Chain A
């Protein structure tokens, strides 16, 4: 094969690998934010997914069970945030920040308890190449599904209504608190697959801080993708492409830090409105309190 063509194909393959965890996390973020809850805790949810998947896969020998447990763990962490955000009316940002710190620490603590060593677990049964491909494909299926759910189903309509104006939604007979709760929990389940992908498809183990800020890049992807499933997926692919390109460009002498900063700078530009009109859901981040 032509070496240039081979290089391009390798780059595109690496783009998919780098983008997939971002796509899952960003989709979870989109669903959560469209219901009106800003999910700063995506990073912690990915950690919970990655860690639990490794532990359960190690115990049972089945990566599939591990993935399932990882998704449940991610949903459970999201439920904590959802409960705090909907029932306690706490600030979602501050709570999400606390959640990230607590989850990261709990996983580090769990590593020592279970594997009696800090830093990283031992290798566990993982998905292998076929499973990795399946998870990559599933990410795009999830994006399309979320698009259809948000735009074509009653629940999706309720979610969007609660993100724009929860009072009006309640006046129309929608239970805003319950809708937000379910959106955040389902979003957490989706986002945790990003963590599962990292631990059971890429590394085959859990290591401390292995998500390395991907939850925050995913938040950037949500904004850059204008709070839509396809937009966020596109943004995740864009960021994934630059993450992949980093390896080639680093050899060409371009500092990797500047490439790594790109998603964050892109999000800032989008936030400031330089990349066309960007509008968050009107009630995004606003706690809803019943009168």
Chain B
């Protein structure tokens, strides 16, 4: 596909997204009998008004950036990983469980907590990758099913074998201070998770564009038949791509636990793994553009709370718009290739 065409299409998509966000958003606000100017004003004020609010916007962007990058890896390989939510939750669980019992100095504890999250998410992504590579099982259905199983598994472990004596809450003990990610901005939840996410995005961009593995991954996604003829092992590529995809999402879950909550809680994600699908698509599956998209959706996420509190518009409007953006962008180029396998 000629580059200019892709660019033109990307421009058209951005216009479409803006029309959806502001058009449908305004319409919903009018239904709630609130002037869109007031409601959007409250939204942007809530996202940017104070130093702490800007920090919270970046927190939301970070929480979306990790799973969106993971989703992009899988999509670029022609695999529809709908399971980022489950991978993120299990990553968070592994981080919380391990982190709570590590009497180690920070320079050991923090990396171990993050690696535990990435490993758990990676394993959860590798399962559908394996089922696909070995048995040709549809990874969409598998990841969808594993999302639910992940939540149930974490809930079971937290409430059952690993339950805190005397605690009714579905959570792990809190992480010792040494295992917590240091704050970046005081009085906020913004931690080193944000720069880590940016580094992951840049590294991922480099891996996809500049390494043999990245080339094979993209080839498997863009033209599986040709890739196979060129000697690329499609099964192995699918497995590795899904494991890597899950690992990045799992790392995201670990940063939420180590940075924001300081313990694993079964309610740690309000659906980041699903919203991230929209982020990845708006970012055109390019890690650097996904950073931009995650910031935009971070604004909607953090501003939505203020919009509800200040202007009285239910914040469900944000989820509604997000869902519509996903539908509108479901026709992107990702689609064409995957189907010929």
Q: List 20 A-B contacts (CB under 8 A).
A: A90-B335, A91-B80, A94-B277, A94-B330, A94-B335, A97-B277, A97-B326, A98-B277, A100-B323, A101-B322, A102-B324, A105-B316, A109-B320, A223-B141, A257-B152, A261-B149, A264-B145, A265-B149, A267-B141, A285-B138
Which of A94, A216, A257, A280 contacts B138, CB < 8 Å?
Answer: A280
A88-B331, A105-B323 are known contacts; what are 11 more A-B pairs with Cβ within 8 Å? A91-B330, A93-B80, A94-B277, A94-B281, A97-B274, A104-B319, A105-B318, A112-B316, A255-B159, A265-B145, A280-B138
A60 proximal to B (CB < 8 A):
no
Give, as a whole number of angstroms, the nearest-CB distance from B84 to chain A. Answer: 11
Contacting pair A101 B319 (CB below 8 A):
yes
Contacting pair B140 A113 (CB below 8 A):
no
Residues from chain A with Cβ under 8 Å of B155 in the complex: 257
B296 proximal to A (CB < 8 A):
no
B148 proximal to A (CB < 8 A):
yes
Which of B148, B319, B335 contacts A105, CB < 8 Å?
Answer: B319
Interface size class of A (residues with CB under 8 A): 35 or more
Interface size class of B (residues with CB under 8 A): 35 or more
If over half of A's interface residues share one DSSP class (helix, strand or loop), that class is named, otherwise mixed; here it is helix
Contacting pair A273 B322 (CB below 8 A):
no
Contacting pair B331 A89 (CB below 8 A):
yes
Interface residues of B in 295-332 (CB under 8 A from A): 314, 316-320, 322-332
A118 proximal to B (CB < 8 A):
yes
If over half of B's interface residues share one DSSP class (helix, strand or loop), that class is named, otherwise mixed; here it is helix
Residues from chain A with Cβ under 8 Å of B141 in the complex: 219-220, 223, 267, 271
Chain B residues proximal to chain A, CB less than 8 Å: 28, 31-32, 80, 82, 131, 134-135, 137-138, 140-142, 144-146, 148-149, 152-153, 155-156, 159-160, 271, 274-275, 277-278, 281, 314, 316-320, 322-332, 334-335, 338-339
Residues from chain B with Cβ under 8 Å of A273 in the complex: 135, 137
Residues from chain A with Cβ under 8 Å of B319 in the complex: 101-102, 104-105, 108
Contacting pair B145 A268 (CB below 8 A):
yes
A103 proximal to B (CB < 8 A):
yes
Contacting pair B31 A113 (CB below 8 A):
yes
Q: How far is the CA of A93 from the CA of B329 in the complex (A)?
A: 12
Query: What residue in chain B is nearest A260 (Cβ atoms)?
Result: B152
Interface residues of A in 73-112 (CB under 8 A from B): 80, 84, 88-95, 97-106, 108-109, 112
Q: How far is the CA of A265 from the CA of B146 in the complex (A)?
A: 8
Which of A99, A106, A271 contacts B327, CB < 8 Å?
Answer: A99
Contacting pair A216 B148 (CB below 8 A):
yes
Residues from chain B with Cβ under 8 Å of A84 in the complex: 327, 330-331
Which of B148, B316, B324 contacts A213, CB < 8 Å?
Answer: B148
> In the complex where A105-B317, A109-B320, A113-B32 touch, is A95 in contact with B142 (Cβ < 8 A)?
no
Give, as a whole number of angstroms, the nearest-CB distance from B280 to chain A. Answer: 10
Contacting pair A98 B144 (CB below 8 A):
no
Give, as a whole number of angstroms, the nearest-CB distance from A242 to chain B. Answer: 13
Q: How far is the CA of A213 from the CA of B155 in the complex (A)?
A: 16
Contacting pair A40 B140 (CB below 8 A):
yes
Which of B131, B144, B146, B338 contacts A40, CB < 8 Å?
Answer: B144
Could you give, for residues 214-239 of chain A, a 1 whenever the CB lies within 8 Å of some chain B CB and a 0 otherwise?
A: 00100110010000000000000000
Q: How far is the CA of A97 from the CA of B338 in the complex (A)?
A: 17
Residues from chain B with Cβ under 8 Å of A8 in the complex: none
